[in-house]
Amino acid sequence: MDKKELPFLTASQLSKLIETKEVSPVEATEAYLDRIQQVDPKLNSYITVTGEQALGAARQAEQEIAAGRQDRKSVVEGKSVDLGGRRVIKKKKKQGRD
């Protein structure tokens, strides 16, 4: 599959590709980051893109999958994602604040 097509898949489709190892979490994350970099200068839809953090999480997910510690459901669970313009963001806990 062409990496440029990944951002247009549903979460279920992408999860299945990751589960079958046709696509790695790192490849998927890179595809999304590439797409954001391509279109966001025109759309200004993101305040902050945490690419390195996303790649770190993708590398960790890849290691967990390789070790058999992560199932298909958890591949996309708890991650910051943009679903058709509706952002679902995992809140960052600030140290020293309640």
What confidence score (pLDDT) does residue 74 get?
54
Sites in the chain below the pLDDT cut of 50: 72, 77-78, 83-91, 93-98
Q: Are strands 86-88 and 81-83 parallel, antiparallel or unpaired?
A: antiparallel
* Domain residue extents for the chain: 3-88
Q: What is the DSSP letter of 48?
A: -
What confidence score (pLDDT) does residue 81 get?
54
Task: Give the whole-angstrom CA distance, residue 28 versus residue 55.
Answer: 10
Of 10, 5, 80, 9, the C-alpha closest to 47 is 80
At 75, list the tokens. 């591949």
Task: Give the whole-angstrom CA distance, residue 32 versus residue 60.
Answer: 17
